[in-house]
């Protein structure tokens, strides 16, 4: 997807409204009929439309929405796996982070001059904005406690969510310890987040007094996450530009996808699915199952899905599902209601 710099500048405010077992012989079972599901990413309350405010987790095998949360429900996500310690931002809010050279939390008062980064939409743990917040030297783990400045991004109406400064002090056993405050040194907080077995990540929100939260359901309970997220696009001049998109991310736990746009959807069967190339990259389905049509310069556009794009999902149990998108609007023409058609193979 290539877009002009003018379009980016004009529309940014509007944006804010594997590891598997070898294949085994599958015993005969009823594949069932094709299923159509509408995913309510947009919330309509009275006369107010909250565009893309929901993050929705979906299980293909049970044909059910497992969980739904407001995309602003958290700020930071911490790896919940044993021996892991990666920390992620909430990129659904266009959130960024910059590391200072200070270890004194009170000494930092601005993000000026910092390299403010966002997490890659691929889910690559080696390229996170916070990065390596400690170093290992021989048998010792050295917690540097460098201060980071976090820009919390925007809400669904384009309002700034503010900034925080934070120092990650340590991880001991299954608990992360950190300190944070406002840039003016008000609201100093000592906080911690404890890992929970059976989850990909555990989460923390700066709202109120600050709390550990758990918007994401257990890792074995879902396949797909419908959400906004930040990704890197390119202008017509080839310049990289971070952009907020609306799309679909894979569960990071033993879930993979293959892509095809040459086969007729109804003709894809288990044999063809088993011979495809699969990827665990979480944004492999991503956002470009739809395309923008209309006048992008003045923002009068509509989205048209690409039903020729076929996605074959292999879940944690080694089951295969073929899926495609067939809609993006509700019956009243409100965008933010992706409609998928899928079938177990």
What is the number of structural domains in the chain? 2
Residues 249 and 267 in one domain: yes
**φ, ψ of residue 270 in degrees (nearest 5):** -60, -40
Residues 196 and 82 in one domain: yes
90 in Cβ contact with 74 (< 8 Å): yes
Would you tell me how many other CB atoms lie within 10 Å of the CB of residue 97? Answer: 26
Residues 292 and 173 in one domain: no
Q: 281 and 184, same structural domain?
A: no
Please check whether residues 208 and 228 belong to one and the same domain.
no
Domain termination residue (choose one: 196, 213, 230): 213
Residue 202 · residue 191 · CB < 8 Å: no
- Residues sharing a CB contact under 8 Å with residue 262, sequence separation 6 or more, in sequence order: none
What would the two tokens of residue 34 be? 């094709």
Q: From the centroid of its chain, how far is CA 7?
A: 24
For residues 172 and 289, state if they share a domain: no
Q: Which residues contact 239 (CB under 8 A, 6 or more apart)?
A: 5
Tens-digit pLDDT profile for residues 122-144: 999 889 999 999 877 677 777 88
The tokens 């405050």 sit on which residue? 181
Residues 242 and 304 in one domain: yes
Listed residue (170, 163, 167, 197) closest to 179, CA to CA = 167
Task: Collect contacts of 163-167 with beta carbons under 8 A, ≥24 apart.
Answer: 163/111, 164/75, 164/206, 165/105, 165/108, 166/105, 167/103, 167/105
Cα–Cα dist 89/280, whole Å: 20
The per-residue pLDDT for 18 is 34
How confident is the model over 201-243, as pLDDT tens digits? 999 999 999 999 999 999 999 999 999 999 988 877 888 888 9
Last residue of a domain, one of 150, 179, 213: 213
Statement to judge: residues 41 and 107 lie in one domain: no
Phi and psi, residue 277, nearest 5°: -95, 130
Note the pLDDT of residue 31. Answer: 61
Q: Which residue among 197, 213, 229 closes a domain?
A: 213
**100 and 152 together in one domain:** yes
Question: How many angstroms separate the Cα of 54 from the Cα of each of 40, 69, 157?
Answer: 7, 6, 13
Whether residues 201 and 93 fall in one domain: yes
The domain containing residue 333 runs over which residues?
Answer: 2-70+219-344
pLDDT of residue 298: 73
Same domain, 233 and 207: no
pLDDT given for residue 9 in this prediction: 35
Looking at residue 294, its pLDDT comes to 81
Low-confidence ranges of the chain (pLDDT < 70): 1-31, 137, 296, 299
Asked if residue 90 and residue 65 are part of one domain, the reply reads no
């Amino acid at each position: 997807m290539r877009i002009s710099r003018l379009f980016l500048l004009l529309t940014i405010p509007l944006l804010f409204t594997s590891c598997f077992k070898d294949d085994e012989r599958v015993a005969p079972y009823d594949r069932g009929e094709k299923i159509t599901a509408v995913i309510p990413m947009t919330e309509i309350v009275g006369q107010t439309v909250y565009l893309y405010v929901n993050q929705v987790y979906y299980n293909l095998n049970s044909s059910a929405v497992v969980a739904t949360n407001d995309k602003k429900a958290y700020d930071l996500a911490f790896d919940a796996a044993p021996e892991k310690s990666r920390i992620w931002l909430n990129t659904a809010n266009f959130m960024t982070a910059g590391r200072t050279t200070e270890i004194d939390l009170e000494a930092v008062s601005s993000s000026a001059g910092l390299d403010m980064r966002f997490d890659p939409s691929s889910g690559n743990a080696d390229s996170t904005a916070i990065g390596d917040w400690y170093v290992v030297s021989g048998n010792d783990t050295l917690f540097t406690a460098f201060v980071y400045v976090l820009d919390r991004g925007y809400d669904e109406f384009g309002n700034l969510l503010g900034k925080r400064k934070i120092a990650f002090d340590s991880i001991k056993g299954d608990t992360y310890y950190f300190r944070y405050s406002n840039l003016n040194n008000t609201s100093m907080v000592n906080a911690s987040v404890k890992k929970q077995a059976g989850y990909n990540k555990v989460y923390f929100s700066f709202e109120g007094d600050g709390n550990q939260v758990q918007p994401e359901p257990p890792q074995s309970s879902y396949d797909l996450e419908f959400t906004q997220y930040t990704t890197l696009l390119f202008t017509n001049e080839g310049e990289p530009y971070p952009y907020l998109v609306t799309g679909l991310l894979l569960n990071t736990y033993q879930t993979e996808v293959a892509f095809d746009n040459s086969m007729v959807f109804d003709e894809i069967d288990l044999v063809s699915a088993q011979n495809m190339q699969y990827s665990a990259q979480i944004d492999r389905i991503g956002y470009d199952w739809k395309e923008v049509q209309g006048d992008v310069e003045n923002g009068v556009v509509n989205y048209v899905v690409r039903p020729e794009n076929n996605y074959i999902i292999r879940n944690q149990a080694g089951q295969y599902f073929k899926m495609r998108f067939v809609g993006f609007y509700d019956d009243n023409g409100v965008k933010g209601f992706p409609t998928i058609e899928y079938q177990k193979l």
